[in-house]
Amino acid sequence: MSRPIKPSRRIQALTGGALAALLLAAGCTSNTPESDSSGDSGTKANAASSNDETGETVTIGFSGPAADHGWLAAINSAALAEAEKFDDIELKAAEGTNDPSLQISQIETFINDKVDAIVLLPTDGAALTNVAIKAMDAGIPVINVDREFSSPFAARTTILGDNYGMGVSAGTYACDLIEKNDINDPVIAEIAGIDSLPLTQDRSQGFKDALASCDQTVDNRVAAEFTVESGEEQASNLLQAEPKIDIIWNHDDDQGVGVKAAFDNANRDEFFFIGGAGSANAMRWIQDGEMEATVLYPPTQAADGIRLARLIVQNKGLSDLVQVEVPKRIVLNAPVVTKENVDQYIDQGFES
Amino acid sequence: MDAAREGLPAQATGTDSAGTAPSGRGSGDHGVLGNLMGSSFGRNLGLVVALVLLCLVGIATAGEQFASIDNMLTILRLASVIGVVSIGMTFVITGGGIDLSVGALVALCSVWASTVATQTLANDYHWIVMVSTAVLVGVGAGLVNGLLIAYGRVVPFIATLAMLAGARGLAEIIAQRRTQIIKVDGFREFFGGSVLGVPVLVIMFVLVSVVGWIVLNRTTFGRRTFAVGGNPEAARLAGIKVQRHTVMLYVIVGLCCGIAAVMLMARTTTGSSTHGTLYELDAIAAVVIGGTLLSGGRGTIVGTVFGVLIFTTLSNVFIQNNLSSSAQAVAKGLIIVVAVLLQQRIANRSDGT
């Protein structure tokens, strides 16, 4: 691990650009904290970091959508729990809301309060862009979580799950299933989330593109609303539209509870059922053999956002990167959880 | 109530010109059977035409897959929950009120009836505990609505708007925004099962509709509902206890929400604070295209049932054809307008003869 390399301008330029890193919780912790970590003075800064040592107190404003959905609830609770772990973080958490104008006023309050950093999971990325730019102009770094702003000037760092990648993972896995099981002319169905959200469109596009690589297309597509009830309704209708389905990808494990209920109500299980997000329910189904796989969309992004905000304010970098500054953009990986590796992920599964 | 009173005389004359005022009901009650059949048939003809057209489109585009018994039962099963809510809504709207809190009440009932405590109790005794919890919560919330409106003199729109926010919030607090999975076996088996091939949910919908029809059209309570909705002042002068009657109407819709919550819990095997989202609008849409007058005084259970079936069939046909939900929303809007226009034409014509 020890790399006695002086961080040069070139390396900074190389790594500082479009850097996509898998951020592991373990990656930020270290065994032997050292006193000096500010990149430009120490040569061992990246080998052993002092990132977790208590530094100057950082006031972080956190605002996210209303936790009316298991994944969002997990996002919020993970963020609050992460802030608790650090003595030098003072967290101001705004009440979760689905109303963009209320969220804008929350951010304005943070700006007036002169917080040191803002971690923001916008209800709608585009709608919150202006106020985020305002915060940045006021010298407050904004960490954009999950739903992206429409301007690159609105955030110091963006950390997000890979929605397109989720679709690709699901599609690639579907292709593997088709090949492995030698399915001729497979019927592939997709149960999407709220269709007007860019994240849903990205997931669907990724799924479509990955399927195209094995010459397949989505035969039936319905869109639910991330709620159990809509999942049940859409899945019930979907099952009636096709007498036999080979593969179903459901974007979201929260609505998946309803989707599963619809399968059980109709006594249908002839297909491979692939989920999305990675709820604890889904992982238990995978263990029980009632579900084939689920594609992970980590609910720890806001928690990572809190950590990044602290590092940025304290002028620290990510200890496992050579680069001395926190990257501009971090895209999380979207692995496929199957019966083989479910034990490895089940602790991260969120209760919906 | 005051606002409703002011608006009502004008509406009542409007109804008279359409010939379907409460008096028309009354005469049908005593008159020849054919007369009643003729008028209600005429009123519902637009809906029948719309539903048949939808089914024809379904058969033309999806063929056997659409016309299969399985699919028909699926449509009916999906229509059941919102159907029961809409029956309750028909009563309040006919009685000159409105209930915006139905979706939130369904959520609250479902959450309250599926808490760990309730489920443990249900496991120890019987799943009937869950059913009665849901129904009691619904009736209780309806009672609060009714008392606020009748005796607190809060406008129905505002009172139930407050309940919409309050009940949904309470549901979130109780459920801690988690989805509560129902593990009481008897419950799922009973409500998820079917009798002679007909899902229990559909049977419940039919029962609620039939009881609703009888109560509205064949009892004093029903006649009083038309009177209170048509002209509360006249109803009061005629000796009807308008306030007590209004409370009863909101209790009825609360009861329907409780029943609907039980059905939804069976359908999804969960209780959740996100259940019943936008039910208030779906129910009002179904009631209104069914031919119930939004300002009260005229109401039809049969029309409401058709209204619900039209919307449920619509989404089924769209999914059968793999069309997007956005196109579905556009079609839904069109259907509301076309059905109401058709209905007015036919009603006017049948009155002319």
Give one DSSP letter per residue of B270-287, joined into a string. EE-TTTTTTHHHHHHHHH
Tell me whether residue A40 is exposed, middle or buried, using C-beta atoms within 10 angstroms of its C-beta: 0 to 12, 13 to 18, 19 or more. exposed
If you average pLDDT over residues B152-178, what whole number do you get? 93
Closest partner residue to A240 (CB to CB) among B71, B172, B270 is B71
**In this prediction, does ipTM exceed 0.90?**
no
Is residue A34 scored above 70 in pLDDT?
Answer: no
Q: What is the pLDDT of residue B323?
A: 85
Is residue B72 scored above 60 in pLDDT?
Answer: yes
- Cβ A240 vs Cβ B316: under 8 Å: yes
Q: How confident is the model at residue B35 (pLDDT cuts 50, 70, 90)?
A: very low
CB atoms within 10 A of CB B286: 29
If you average pLDDT over residues B281-300, what whole number do you get? 90
Q: Do B71 and A261 touch (CB under 8 A)?
A: no
Q: What is the pLDDT of residue A45?
A: 43
Is residue B30 scored above 90 in pLDDT?
Answer: no
CA dist B121 and B132 (Å) reads 12
Q: Do A257 and B268 touch (CB under 8 A)?
A: yes
The number of CA neighbours under 13 Å toward the Cβ of B220 is 5
Write the DSSP assignment of B145-186 as a string of letters.
HHHHHHTS---HHHHHHHHHHHHHHHHHHHHTT--EE---HH
pLDDT tens digits along B75-124: 999 999 999 999 999 999 999 999 999 999 999 999 999 999 999 999 89
Is residue A342 scored above 90 in pLDDT?
Answer: yes
- Cβ A252 vs Cβ A277: under 8 Å: yes
Q: Do B270 and A238 touch (CB under 8 A)?
A: no
A254 touches B at CB < 8 Å = yes
Backbone phi and psi for residue A50, each to the nearest 5 degrees, phi listed first: -110, 25
Q: What is the pLDDT of residue B165?
A: 95
Q: Do A195 and B326 touch (CB under 8 A)?
A: yes
Question: In a 3-state reduction of DSSP, which class is residue B200?
Answer: helix
Which residues of chain A make contact with B177, given a CB cutoff of 8 A?
A: 67-69, 73
Q: How confident is the model at residue B16 (pLDDT cuts 50, 70, 90)?
A: very low
User: Which H helix or E strand runs over A296?
Assistant: strand A293-296
Is residue B23 scored above 50 in pLDDT?
Answer: no
Q: How confident is the model at residue B338 (pLDDT cuts 50, 70, 90)?
A: confident
Q: What is the pLDDT of residue B40?
A: 59
Q: Do A240 and B172 touch (CB under 8 A)?
A: no
How large a percentage of chain B has pLDDT more than 90? 59
Q: How confident is the model at residue B246 (pLDDT cuts 50, 70, 90)?
A: very high
Q: For chain B, which residues lie within 8 Å of any Cβ of chain A, measuring from their own Cβ? A: 62, 65, 68, 70-71, 74, 77-78, 172, 176-179, 181, 192, 264, 267-270, 272-277, 315-316, 319-320, 322, 324-326
Is residue B7 scored above 80 in pLDDT?
Answer: no
More confident residue, B167 or B332: B167
Q: How confident is the model at residue B41 (pLDDT cuts 50, 70, 90)?
A: low
Closest partner residue to A237 (CB to CB) among B74, B276, B277 is B74
Which range (A37-46, A118-127, A218-227, A261-270) has the least confidence? A37-46
CB atoms within 10 A of CB A294: 33
CA dist A267 and B6 (Å) reads 55
- Cβ B293 vs Cβ B24: under 8 Å: no
What would the two tokens of residue A179 be? 């090949």
Closest partner residue to B316 (CB to CB) among A225, A240, A261 is A240
CA dist A109 and B53 (Å) reads 55
User: Residues of A numbered 264-323 whose beta carbons fall under 8 angstroms of chain B's beta carbons: which are they?
Assistant: 264-266, 281
Q: What is the pLDDT of residue B349?
A: 66
Which residues of chain B make contact with A237, given a CB cutoff of 8 A?
A: 74, 78, 315-316, 319-320
For residue A69, the one-letter residue type is H
Write the CB contacts of A245 (distance below 8 Å, at least 6 apart in sequence).
Answer: A187, A188, A189, A220, A238, A239, A268, A270, A271
Is residue B213 scored above 90 in pLDDT?
Answer: yes
Nearest residue of B to residue A240, measured between CA atoms? B71
Q: Are strands A293-296 and A336-338 parallel, antiparallel or unpaired?
A: antiparallel
Tell me whether residue A97 is exposed, middle or buried, using C-beta atoms within 10 angstroms of its C-beta: 0 to 12, 13 to 18, 19 or more. middle
pLDDT tens digits along A43-102: 444 445 678 888 889 999 999 888 777 888 889 989 999 999 999 999 999 988 888 889
Nearest residue of A to residue B58, measured between CA atoms? A241
Q: What is the pLDDT of residue B261?
A: 96
Nearest C-alpha of chain B: how many angstroms from A85?
23
- Supply the mean pLDDT for chain B: 85
User: Residues of A numbered 158-197 whose beta carbons fall under 8 angstroms of chain B's beta carbons: which are they?
Assistant: 195-196
CA dist A59 and A310 (Å) reads 8
Q: C-alpha angle B334/B335/B341, rounded to 5°?
A: 95
Q: What is the pLDDT of residue A257?
A: 95
